[in-house]
Chains A and B, each alone.
Chain A
């Protein structure tokens, strides 16, 4: 089968549409997670969604919708624990992380058959997406993209400085919950593409790549979305071509391609930052706290010929218009 025929197949086109949209949606919301230094939140939600998928499989309902519901609940729970409790975000994530994965494996074990199909969600199976799934994916990812781009000024302000946002009259808690819910939705959207275990990569790696080269938030989020779409579509195409020779899964290919972009961008980022530093002028008018004077062969002491001035707990010696104070083996300017 030639590549042209292969890409003309309906399942392949469905896979391409799903890959493109998830590649755009995941980094869009991922940028706000990275901005709040919650880069692993996507991973935590992904693990919670495992339980949702398992419940959907066992009860013979839609695994996607079950995952959406459970992931949203999990995300809201993480946000609530983080905000209300003494626990910090990190620990809240860890609790949900393990609970979700253990719950998913336990539930799927109850019904022996579903363990194999759980794999499809853990590692992604772009090529088994049905027409109905594609429509759900399209609706959900367009909603995620629309909200995270449309509300970007508000979400940016909340993620940048929560206290300022509160005094500016923004509903900080509502926006935080919105980010959590959007993250949960994009996790469930992306689970068919890259799988629940790798979902966070599509939310974080394009952002990490683009911020190597950008100076503003707007270009960071735009570049992350472009990179995410490039990585997911490119990864799918690569995996398709490679499948003539070997059995290559699209999910890991997408993630590895995104990481390859990072590997390319990283040294460029270091180089440009270095250049930016070199072009910086010296910090204007810094006042040294401790200014040691240069070579000082003369040793001050009582009767040395310089005017002695008591200065708090020590003695300064007036020396050509400045005052020198002994400090260990050298003299300081006072």
Chain B
């Protein structure tokens, strides 16, 4: 573990420049550049909002704004985007970087670190854009927004842990790479992001306890929509689960490291 951190520290310059390069090259030849990164999720939110707000806005107690549904939707999206981006990138990370890992010796832990760094950067940009949109809609977040780093940490550890495990297994069983996007879709609809929790039957609401993403998304809602502190107990619980999964992911990463290169 300590040599992983040492390697990471020695390669900090590389990690930072890689994150920067990724950011720059993604939009290198497009006219709108970095705007696309924000425009894509916002467009998605807009579509949902247009179609569903008439049906669902009445169901949102605790906030009066005619744009209540749009605000609720956007807040949940911010959290979900972070989760799905990390999972999706980790899933094919080792396969994509296979040749590099075979031909160059460098701490492999830098690869997922770059993914996380890059996803965090995107997420911050998206957050700033969202806050801008909120301001336009006349919704101003409270100081509770300072909880966001905590929620982000919980989300990142959960996503990175799962992403590492899936990414490693995907090298050996490629079906995983095909199955995960489908499972992500399912998870998206099983998490109250597009709809408020109170529209689903009480009996089914119990099942949401099993969804580890839900408490974090709920935290995003609390902080960004309702201007209240997240449910601390739940956040701590999920953070613990996230750290455990992350620890398992790192353990697996260590054990699999040698065979990972063999199989690529």
Q: Do A and B come from one complex?
A: no
